[in-house]
């Protein structure tokens, strides 16, 4: 009688794991499939997005697959009607294999429904609002176009959104419908809005404790009684954020209906860290190793003054720059006082450069930044073995720059990439 040979536990577990993996791979290799023919790729994708059957796996219960297959006709028709096809013919087949099922759907979409009459009207009860007229003209709803429910919904939402941004908080659609005539392959669209009165700005209150209230009032360009415009609110939010005084700027509007028809604005400001530090390490073939460090004081005092020191060190060129920034009467107007010292020492050139100057920086609502500056340069340099000279240069100038993106407070400082990479600079 032979002794019973027992396999080690590790070997048995390995065999079980391999069998399980092969079983899983086998299941994954046979996937359930819903085949849709007769339409282009975009419409096919839309149909599959509507079909719950397309989410079922191979091992789904047979009763559920059959139920969803029966219900798929309604879902397919809804998907096609959404893109303008109302006279649809369908041929469906469900095949049950040994390991999985497959649904084959053949679609004859027929002629699409096109827009016949498009009526979009906005009644403000007074002179037409130009911005609302623009949005109605931009709506992609034109007679002769194929009916697209998504475009209709987007147009309706855009009109409502613009009306609210213009201060028509009581605006309502008195008529909003699509009348479809499948037998005529046509549809009529009606969107009629009555805006009601345009709300005005109410009082603006700002909650903060770190800066002089007089400085904060310079940011406020909203006057109570003026027609409400969300763009003015967004501009104020951008100015407060770009000031670098605050980490978070939260606006809360509270529209009040009859008898006020106004929008009080509450602004909650969370102060940012007083000091911002920067550091960097790099290497350049002409300069060798480079070190950079800086510190920005965002709030030197309650009047909003800011100061920055930046140091760059390398074997060839080293410099230190100091800037002091003072806000003026308007939130986007600043004056800066700048000074710096630069050492350059290479095989053929030695230079010691001292600079000092001042800039008046003004940013406009259209993104243009205008800068008037006066700069003094004192330089002592040696070129080669024999030439040694000293120069003094006082330069007034004008810089005009346009920046498409958002500009942070740090981007207003002289010498930064935001200022030097765009615009025109003229020196006298």
- Contact (CB, 8 A) for 419 and 399: yes
Q: Is 17 contained in some domain?
A: no
Q: Please state the rounded mean pLDDT for residues 283-299.
A: 91
Domain membership of residue 128 (yes or no) is yes
Do 282 and 235 share a structural domain?
Answer: no
Q: Are 211 and 304 in contact (CB under 8 A)?
A: yes
Which residue among 77, 108, 139 closes a domain? Answer: 108
CATH of the domain at 368: 2.40.160.50
What pLDDT does 243 receive?
84
Mean pLDDT over all residues of the chain? 86
The residue from 82, 108, 134 where one domain ends is 108
Inside any domain, residue 315: yes
pLDDT above 90 for 72: yes
Tokens 């509270």 appear where? 254
Q: Which of 11-15, 175-179, 248-252 has the lowest mean pLDDT?
A: 11-15
293 and 413 housed in the same domain: yes
pLDDT higher than 70, residue 191: yes
Domain count, the chain: 4
Do 266 and 280 share a domain, yes or no? no
pLDDT of residue 126: 81
Q: Are residues 57 and 82 in the same domain?
A: yes
Is 302 part of any domain?
yes
- Domain end, chosen from 160, 194, 228, is at 194
Reference 309, options 298, 320, 325, 301; nearest CA is 320
* Exposure of 203 in the CB half-sphere (CA atoms within 13 A): 2
- For residue 323, being part of any structural domain is answered with yes
In a domain, 16, yes or no: no
Which has more confidence, 387 or 192?
192
Domain range for 183 is 114-194
If asked whether residues 281 and 400 sit together in one domain, one would say: yes
- Is the peptide bond preceding residue 339 cis, with omega within 30 degrees of 0? no
| Whether residue 280 sits in one domain with residue 250 | no
- pLDDT of the residue at 406: 44
Query: Edge-to-edge strand order for the sheet containing 114-123?
Result: 114-123, 186-194, 172-181
Predicted local distance difference test score (pLDDT) of residue 244: 85
Task: Judge whether residue 29 has pLDDT over 70.
Answer: no
* Same domain (yes/no): 288, 423: yes
- pLDDT band, very low/low/confident/very high, at 415 (cuts 50, 70, 90): very low
Contacts of 316 (CB under 8 A, 6+ apart): 286, 287, 288, 344, 345, 346
Residue 51 lies in a domain: yes
- Lowest pLDDT segment from 11-15, 159-163, 288-292, 418-422: 418-422
Question: Parallel, antiparallel, or unpaired: how do β-strands 186-194 and 114-123 relate?
Answer: parallel
* Lowest-confidence region among 28-32, 124-128, 360-364: 28-32
- Same domain assignment for residues 266 and 282: no
Examine the domain organization and report whether 346 and 290 are in the same domain: yes
Q: Are residues 212 and 158 in the same domain?
A: no
Which CATH number characterizes residue 215's domain?
Answer: 3.10.20.310
Is the confidence at residue 149, as pLDDT, over 70? yes
Is residue 297 included in any domain, yes or no? yes
Q: Specify whether 421 is located in the same domain as 280.
A: yes
Taking the CA atoms of residue 164, residue 166, residue 171 and residue 177 in that order, the dihedral angle to the nearest 10 degrees is -80
Q: Are residues 257 and 125 part of one domain?
A: no
| pLDDT > 70: percent of the chain | 85
């Amino acid at each position: 009688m032979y002794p019973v040979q027992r396999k080690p536990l590790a070997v048995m577990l390995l065999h079980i794991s391999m069998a399980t993996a092969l079983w899983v791979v086998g299941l994954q290799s046979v996937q359930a499939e819903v085949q849709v023919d007769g339409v282009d790729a975009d419409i096919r994708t839309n149909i599959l997005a509507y079909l719950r059957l397309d989410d079922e796996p191979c091992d789904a219960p047979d009763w559920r697959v059959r139920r969803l297959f029966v219900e798929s006709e309604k879902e397919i028709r809804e998907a096609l009607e959404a893109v303008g096809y109302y006279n649809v013919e369908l041929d469906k087949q469900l095949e049950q294999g040994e390991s999985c099922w497959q649904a084959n759907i053949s679609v004859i979409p027929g002629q699409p429904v096109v827009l016949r009459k498009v009526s979009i009207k906005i009644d403000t009860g007074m002179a037409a609002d130009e911005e609302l007229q623009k949005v109605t003209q931009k709506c992609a709803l034109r007679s002769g176009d194929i009916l697209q429910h998504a475009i209709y919904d987007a147009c309706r939402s855009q009109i409502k959104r613009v009306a609210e941004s213009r201060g028509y908080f009581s605006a309502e659609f008195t008529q909003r419908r699509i009348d479809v005539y499948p037998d005529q392959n046509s549809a009529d669209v009606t969107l009629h809005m009555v805006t009601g009165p345009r709300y005005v700005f109410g009082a603006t209150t700002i909650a903060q404790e770190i800066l002089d209230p007089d400085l904060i009032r310079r940011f406020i360009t909203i006057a109570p009684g003026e027609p409400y415009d969300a763009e003015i609110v967004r501009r104020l939010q951008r100015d407060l954020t770009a000031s670098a005084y605050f980490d978070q700027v939260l606006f809360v509007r509270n529209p009040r209906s009859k008898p006020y028809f106004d929008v009080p604005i509450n602004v909650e400001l969370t102060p940012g860290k007083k000091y911002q530090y920067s550091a960097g390490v790099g290497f350049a073939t002409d300069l060798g190793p480079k070190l950079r460090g800086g510190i920005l004081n965002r709030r030197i005092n309650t009047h909003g003054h800011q100061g920055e020191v930046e140091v760059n060190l390398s074997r060839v060129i080293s410099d230190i720059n100091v800037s002091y920034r003072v806000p003026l009467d308007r939130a986007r107007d600043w004056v800066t006082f700048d000074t710096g010292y630069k050492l350059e020492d290479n095989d053929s050139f030695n230079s010691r450069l001292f600079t000092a100057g001042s800039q008046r920086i003004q940013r406009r609502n259209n993104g243009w930044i205008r800068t008037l500056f006066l700069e003094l340069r004192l330089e002592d340099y040696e070129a080669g073995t024999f030439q040694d000279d000293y120069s003094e240069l006082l330069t007034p100038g004008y810089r005009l720059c346009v920046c498409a993106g958002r500009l942070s407070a740090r981007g207003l400082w002289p010498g930064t990439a935001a200022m030097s990479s765009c615009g025109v600079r003229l020196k006298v």
